[in-house]
Structure 1
Amino acid sequence: MAWNEPGGKNNDPWKNRGGRDQGPPDLDDVFKNLFGKFGKMGGGKGGSGKSVGKFGILLVIGLLVVIWIISGFYTIREAERGVVLRFGEYYQQVEPGLRWKPTFIDSVIPVDVQSIRDQASSGSMLTEDENVVRVQMEMQYRVVDPYRWTYAVADPQTSLSQALDSAIRYVVGHSTMDNVLTDGREATRQRVWEELQAILEPYDLGVSIIDMNFRDARPPEEVKDAFDDAIAAQEDEQRFIREAEAYAREIEPRARGQANRMNEEAQAYKEQIILEAQGEVARFEELLPQYNKAPQVTRDRIYLETMESIFSRTSKILVDTKNGNNMMYLPLDKMMDKQNSTAPVRSRSTLEGLQNPIEIESPNSTTNSPGLRNDSFRDGRR
């Protein structure tokens, strides 16, 4: 039966030994018994027992030395740098990897130098135009000097928080409410960044500011609705301006293209008219000598060519008047429609070198005019 089971009180190893109760053995007695056993291992008393006792002490010291050496190994992760202190004073900085330090002499503080840390600050602040706004900003930074980060100030996190809060309040205090809430937010963020760097520079905390985020800026709740309307109106204004600019960018190239096309068409028409006029002048210059040599023949030929050109583009109706005065129906409406759909042909010819316009008449005309007139041709008179 076990001594701690019911009814096993008499089996307690610490009681009823030698007729009296006793507690747990004393540690001094345990060590004395242990060293006594080491002494007996020599087989006798005297010098041999003392040598065996010294061997046991050396063995214990050797174990302690091994434990001390093993306890000195440590590892610095890839994203960290180690700050080594020797008797509490800065000694050196170690790189990542497996390292060893003398325990109780050196101590190592690992510092993360790759992770990006956040530090936020918020509060109600008074602007330059004496309005109250609530601003929330967040700073992102990274440690670049582990020693300065650890020992430049007593509490680097608190120092960063206070510096950020001071920079925000300074910039907001020198800005108007509209700039902080609307279109001046980016400028405010940049100014806070610059002011924070100026504040941290004398402390040399060993940090690098990566970014500054303007998380929120809003007016007091009592006037929030009015400011929301004002912001919406400004956003609408910017949207209309962008739409107008986009429309202008779309219309302007099209208008420029049309203007260029019209200029090119006008230039082409100008060249066409000039070439046609030059051709007419050249033709009449060739015609003038022939007219001077044979006026009647030339007049008849021009008359026939002109009539041929006119009748080739008009409708013709042949009426037989020799077989009686029969009434016949002429489709005047269709003839007029066809005439209206056909562009009128107008031939205007002049002869350079002639002082009077040429009048083209019938070969049997008795007019002895030195020139030719196109009006007679155009009316079809003989």
Structure 2
Amino acid sequence: MPWSNQGGGGGPWGQGPRGPWGSGPQSQGPTPPNLEDLLRRGQDKLRDVLPGGSLGSKGFALLALAVVALWGFSGFFRVEPDELGVVLRFGKQVREVQPGLNYHLPYPIERVLTPKALRVNKIDIGMRQIEDARRGNIVRDVPEESLMLTGDENIVDVDFSVLWKVQPTGVGDYLFNIQNPEGTVKAVAESAMREVIGRSEIQPILTGARQTIETAVHDLMQKTLNDYGAGIIVQQVQLQKVDPPAQVIDAFRDVQAARADLERSVNEAQTYANRVVPEARGRVAQITQAAEAYRQQTVAEATGQTARFLKIYDEYKKAPDVTRQRMYLETMERVLGGTNKIILDSAGSGVVPYLPLNELNGQQRPATSSSSSSTTQTGRRQ
């Protein structure tokens, strides 16, 4: 057959006559040490060490005492600062010990487990940090963990981290209730995030709902882990990146820019309205107050004139002729007081000359009016 000449073997696996499972004659190798020779040599060395060349009852007692002492000292153990110790007695938890030097009954009676219960652990979901000697830490996206469906049937890429630690009073639950703590926390975190994202719309997720999402995921994770009896405390959920998928991220950015422009335009319009509306209201108030003042002034003047007319009417009823003459004179004084006057003789002889005393004495026009009146009366008397 074709494989009979390959490597001198006797079959297709190159194992000679033994076959693939090691059957057949074995090749000659180094001879294993003889157990009887080892025991004999150990006894000879022990006789050389012990006094008298033999153990005896005293030697056996000393040997047993040394073995018991070593067995007792084997119960000392040390718990590191970031650890908590759980002592098991025949496999059952009996107590928890704090960091430092402690003691438990030697094996197989008791043994101790020392998990990193005081250390804060971090799990990244949707991304992985890879150390590169030349470029430092590189973040690699994991789409199968980060792509999630929102409540309005959009896809969003969510990367987040979870900080967690072992509950100080639940180390036993952490050790015995869950088999893979890190995997359990990761699965619960991813499930809680998908549930919260599935109840939300994409727009709040991408803008201002980060704190709300982190709080909701934290509470849901803690509730689930408490139901599992995991003995784990979720300290914080941190959203690292929340973006649309890479295929549509440019379109989402355009939408965000349009929304920003809309908000800016609305703010500018509101600012303009806040400036114009008070000015218009001020002008309205000013016009209203001016109209009210004019109304009050007109009503007051009409009331005053009415009162004056009634007063004159009362006096007129008492002395009609005197009142009529007085009204005539006052009217003529008011009409002729500011005009140029020419005095004519009542007999028709022509213009009557008069001495302009007001110009000679530098008197004012009211004085001229009174002198003209007196001159008129004189002319009339002539």
- Normalised by the size of structure 1, how large is the TM-score? 0.52
Name the CA distance, whole Å, in 2 between partners of 1:317 and 1:91: 132
CA RMSD of superposed structures (Å): 5.2
Secondary structure in structure 2 of the residue aligned to 1:90: strand
Report whether the alignment pairs 1:139 with 2:162.
Answer: yes
2:95 is aligned to: 92
1:348 is aligned to: none
1:142-291 equivalences under 5 Å are 142-144=165-167, 145-170=170-195, 181=206, 196=221, 199-200=224-225, 202-249=227-274, 251-252=276-277, 255-256=280-281, 259=284, 263=288, 267=292, 270-271=295-296, 273-290=298-315
Any unmatched runs of 5+ in structure 1? 1-25, 324-361, 364-382
Using the TM superposition, name which of 175-184 and 84-93 deviates more: 175-184
> What does the per-residue CA deviation read over 1:182-229, in whole Å, with 9 as the maximum and x for residues that have no partner?
677777667655665665454232334454444334344443333322
Name the CA distance, whole Å, in 2 between partners of 1:95 and 1:268: 89
Contact 1:76 1:110 (C-alpha < 8 Å) held by counterparts: no
Contact 1:75 1:99 (C-alpha < 8 Å) held by counterparts: no
Match of 1:120 among 103, 118, 125: 125
1:2-151 equivalences under 5 Å are 31-36=46-51, 53=59, 57=63, 60=66, 64=70, 67-68=73-74, 71-72=76-77, 74=79, 82-94=85-97, 99-104=102-107, 105-112=110-117, 115=120, 117-121=122-126, 122-125=145-148, 132-144=155-167, 145-151=170-176
Once the two structures are TM-superposed, the CA of residue 233 in structure 1 deviates from its matched residue by 1.5
Secondary structure in structure 1 of the residue aligned to 2:248: helix
2:359 is aligned to: none
Once the two structures are TM-superposed, the CA of residue 277 in structure 1 deviates from its matched residue by 4.6
Name the CA distance, whole Å, in 2 between partners of 1:97 and 1:284: 115
Once the two structures are TM-superposed, the CA of residue 157 in structure 1 deviates from its matched residue by 1.2
> What does the per-residue CA deviation read over 1:315-345, in whole Å, with 9 as the maximum and x for residues that have no partner?
x999xxx99xxxxxxxxxxxxxxxxxxxxxx
> What does the per-residue CA deviation read over 1:266-309, in whole Å, with 9 as the maximum and x for residues that have no partner?
5555555545554554455445444555425753685599679x
Change (3 A) 1:176 1:298: same
Contact 1:73 1:99 (C-alpha < 8 Å) held by counterparts: yes
Name the CA distance, whole Å, in 1 between partners of 2:287 and 2:165: 64
Name the CA distance, whole Å, in 2 between partners of 1:209 and 1:141: 4
Letter matched to residue 159 of structure 2 = Q
Name the CA distance, whole Å, in 2 between partners of 1:96 and 1:254: 74
Using the TM superposition, name which of 214-223 and 180-189 deviates more: 180-189
Name the CA distance, whole Å, in 2 between partners of 1:197 and 1:189: 12
> What does the per-residue CA deviation read over 1:93-139, in whole Å, with 9 as the maximum and x for residues that have no partner?
44567754445424143554584745433433456777654332333
Once the two structures are TM-superposed, the CA of residue 158 in structure 1 deviates from its matched residue by 0.5
Using the TM superposition, name which of 205-214 and 144-153 deviates more: 205-214
Letter matched to residue 89 of structure 1 = K
Name the CA distance, whole Å, in 1 between partners of 2:96 and 2:230: 16
Name the CA distance, whole Å, in 2 between partners of 1:66 and 1:141: 37
Secondary structure in structure 2 of the residue aligned to 1:153: coil
Contact 2:88 2:95 (C-alpha < 8 Å) held by counterparts: yes
Secondary structure in structure 2 of the residue aligned to 1:137: strand
- Normalised by the size of structure 2, how large is the TM-score? 0.52
Once the two structures are TM-superposed, the CA of residue 162 in structure 1 deviates from its matched residue by 1.6
> What does the per-residue CA deviation read over 1:60-114, in whole Å, with 9 as the maximum and x for residues that have no partner?
4686378446x3464656xx65444333322234456775444542414355458
Change (3 A) 1:173 1:115: closer
Once the two structures are TM-superposed, the CA of residue 232 in structure 1 deviates from its matched residue by 1.9
Number of equivalent positions: 281
Letter matched to residue 138 of structure 1 = S
Name the CA distance, whole Å, in 1 between partners of 2:302 and 2:245: 82
1:299 is aligned to: 327
Change (3 A) 1:282 1:188: same
Contact 1:81 1:113 (C-alpha < 8 Å) held by counterparts: yes
